[in-house]
Amino acid sequence: MIIVMKPGASQLAVNHVVERIESMGLKSHVIVGTERTVVAAIGDERGKVKEELETAAGVDRVLPILAPYKMASRELRERTIVRTRDFECGDSKIGVIAGPCSVESEEQILAIARGVKAAGATALRGGAWKPRTSPYSFQGLKQEGLKMLAAARDATGLAIVTEVMAPEHVPIVAEYADVLQIGARNMQNYLLLQAVGETRKAVLLKRGPAATMEEFLLAAEYILDRGNQQVMLCERGIRTFEEHTRFTLPLATVPYLHEKTHLPIVVDPSHGTGKATLVSSMSRAAVAAGADALIVEVHPCPENAWSDGYQTITLEAFETLLAECRRVAEAIGRTI
C-alpha cells in the first residue's frame, strides 16, 4: 500500500501515518520526493486499513498494491475445471448451456431440452424463479418449474442450470439443479453468495451490469471463502451509454480474467446484446476470445416466449450457431 501525502503535509502528519501503519502490524517506509512525500506500507494490506489511512490528516490518497481477493486469484492456482454430468468448463472442451428464459411447461422444456441436446448443448438453462423489472411481469413457475427441469434432465442427461434468488431457496433449488445461477442483480447479495458457498453445487455467478472486475472477483471470493470451489464467472454485458444494444458486451473480460483468476469464464451473448440478430456473431467472438462456455437463450418460437423473446433464438438458429462456433473453436485448438 502506498500512501501519498498532500503537497506540504507536515512531518507530524507523516509521523502519524507511520504510526498507524505500524499499529496495523505493517512495516513502513518513508520516501521524500521533490514535490510529495509518499509512505510505503509493507505486509498484507487486505482488510479495512486503506479506508482508515485515507482519512488521516495530510493524506491525499492511498494506492493499494495487492489485489483484495486471494482465493479467486490465479496466484493460488493455474485453473479450475467445473464438471457436472456431461457439462465441462475450464479445460479445452467448451461448455454449452442453452434453453429458454423461463420454464413455461413440461412440454416446452422437454422439447427444448431435446432440441438443444441434439444440436450439441451439454447443459439446459431455464428460469423457475424469475427476477423481473416490473411487478406486473410473469415471475416464474417456481417449484413446479424445478420439477419440469428435473424431468428434462431425466429425459436427456443434460445438466440443469437455474437461478436461485434468495438464501432460503437454496436448499430446494439445490435439490433439483446441477448448477446454481446467481443472477446479475444479485451479484452483491452477500447472504445469497454465502448460502450457495455452503453447498457443493457448481455456481454460475453473473457479473452485475455495473460491477468492476475487482467487485466481481470479490463476489466470487464470498463463495470460495465458504468452501465451494466450483465457481464459474459469467460476463453478461454491462450498462453503458450505448443504446443500440440492451447492454454492452465487453469480451476483453475473457482474456483479462484468464490472467487474474483460475476460475472458468462463461459468456452470455443473449443478455449481453439483448438482440436475437446479434447473438450468433457474438457467440463466435466469445469463443475466439477464449470463453470456456456459452449460455444462450433458445426457444422453439421466440415470439411466443413468456419472457426475453427479443433476445432468444430459434432451435434452427442455435444449430447453425453451434456449427459455426465449433469451427471457430477448432481454429483456436479447442472443441465444443
By CB under 8 A, what part of segment 256-285 binds its own copies? 256, 259, 272-273, 275-278, 281-282, 284-285
Binds its own copies (CB under 8 A): choice among 225, 229, 300, 319:
225
Q: Please tell me whether residue 35 binds its own copies under the rule CB under 8 A.
A: yes
Residue 71, Cα to own-chain centre: how many angstroms? 15
Q: Please tell me whether residue 34 binds its own copies under the rule CB under 8 A.
A: yes
Backbone angles phi, psi at 4, to 5 degrees: -95, 120
**Residue 114 CB, nearest distance to its own copies (Å)?**
22
Closer residue to its own copies (CB): 83 or 194: 194
Encoded one letter per residue, x for contact with its own copies by CB under 8 A and - for no contact, window 288-307 reads xxx-----------xxxxxx
Strand pairing of 123-125 and 159-163? parallel
Cα–Cα distance for residue pair 215/206, rounded to 1 Å: 12
Span of 89-97, 103-111, 170-178, 246-254 interacting with its own copies by CB under 8 A: 246-254
Say which DSSP state 241 is in. S
Instruction: Report the b/e string of 309-334 with b at 16+ CB within 10 A.
Output: bebbbbbebbbebbeebbebbeeeeb
Closer residue to its own copies (CB): 46 or 114: 46
**Residue 293 CB, nearest distance to its own copies (Å)?**
16
Encoded one letter per residue, x for contact with its own copies by CB under 8 A and - for no contact, window 50-69 reads -xx-xxxx-----x-xx-xx
Give the CA dihedral 107, 109, 110, 115, nearest 10 degrees.
120
For residues 52 and 229, the answer to whether their CB atoms sit within 8 Å is: no
By CB under 8 A, what part of segment 98-127 binds its own copies? none
Q: Please tell me whether residue 25 binds its own copies under the rule CB under 8 A.
A: no
With CB under 8 A, what is the number of residues at the site for its own copies? Answer: 108
Encoded one letter per residue, x for contact with its own copies by CB under 8 A and - for no contact, window 68-87 reads xx-----x------------
Cα–Cα distance for residue pair 59/316, rounded to 1 Å: 61
**Residue 157 CB, nearest distance to its own copies (Å)?**
29
Backbone angles phi, psi at 20, to 5 degrees: -65, -45
Q: Please tell me whether residue 151 binds its own copies under the rule CB under 8 A.
A: no
Q: Is 89 helix (H, G, I), strand (E, B) or coil?
A: strand
Binds its own copies (CB under 8 A): choice among 46, 85, 114, 142:
46
Closer residue to its own copies (CB): 159 or 257: 257
Q: Please tell me whether residue 19 binds its own copies under the rule CB under 8 A.
A: no
Q: Please tell me whether residue 185 binds its own copies under the rule CB under 8 A.
A: yes
Binds its own copies (CB under 8 A): choice among 18, 138, 155, 172:
138
Closer residue to its own copies (CB): 79 or 157: 79
Closer residue to its own copies (CB): 81 or 256: 256
For residues 140 and 102, the answer to whether their CB atoms sit within 8 Å is: yes
Residue 290 burial (CB count, 10 A): 16
For residue 78, count CB atoms less than 10 angstroms from its CB and return exposed for 0-12, middle for 13-18, buried for 19 or more: exposed
**Residue 63 CB, nearest distance to its own copies (Å)?**
5
Closer residue to its own copies (CB): 176 or 222: 222
For residues 151 and 157, the answer to whether their CB atoms sit within 8 Å is: no
For residues 5 and 36, the answer to whether their CB atoms sit within 8 Å is: yes
Cα–Cα distance for residue pair 65/76, rounded to 1 Å: 17
Q: Please tell me whether residue 91 binds its own copies under the rule CB under 8 A.
A: no
